[in-house]
């Protein structure tokens, strides 16, 4: 199989509770978060590695410079990206995460 660049994007719903001011009740923030990333062949390690992972979300309460609204969703995205690569014919042993 010829090595190529893969691009992947997926959207997930999220809901997080936050208490920005300790003297107030918890606030629930809900929305969608979209992750995207590329995977390309690393000649040195001889495996696909992901890069340029980014995300955006619909609530407007989080910035793209910090942690994602839900770190578990980032892990789910990477698992889904891995499954996508396998569905495209990439051997699971050739995926570096």
Q: What is the per-residue pLDDT across 20-49, written as a single tens digit (0 to 9) for each?
A: 677 778 888 889 999 999 999 999 999 999
pLDDT at 69: 65
Number of other CB atoms surrounding residue 33 within 10 Å = 21
For the record, the structure tokens of 16 come out as 């997080």
pLDDT at 32: 92
For the record, the structure tokens of 2 come out as 């010829």
**pTM of the full structure:** 0.84
How far is C-alpha 35 from the chain's CA centre?
Answer: 4
Going by C-alpha positions, the residue among 19, 18, 69, 78 that lies closest to residue 48 is: 78
Beta bridge partners of 65: none
Q: Tens digits of per-residue pLDDT, 54-84?
A: 988 898 887 655 566 677 899 999 999 999 9
Write down the domain spans for the chain.
6-94
Q: How far apart are CA 60 and CA 29, in angstroms?
A: 10
Does the pLDDT at position 19 exceed 90?
no
């Amino acid at each position: 199989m010829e090595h190529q660049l893969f691009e992947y994007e997926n959207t997930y719903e999220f809901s997080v509770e936050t208490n920005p001011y300790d003297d107030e009740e918890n606030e629930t923030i809900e929305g969608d978060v979209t992750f995207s990333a590329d995977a390309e062949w690393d000649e040195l390690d001889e495996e696909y590695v992901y890069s340029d992972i980014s995300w955006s979300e619909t609530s407007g309460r989080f910035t793209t410079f910090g942690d994602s609204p839900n770190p578990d969703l980032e892990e789910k995205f990477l698992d889904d990206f891995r499954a996508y690569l396998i569905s495209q014919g990439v051997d699971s042993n050739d995926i570096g995460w």
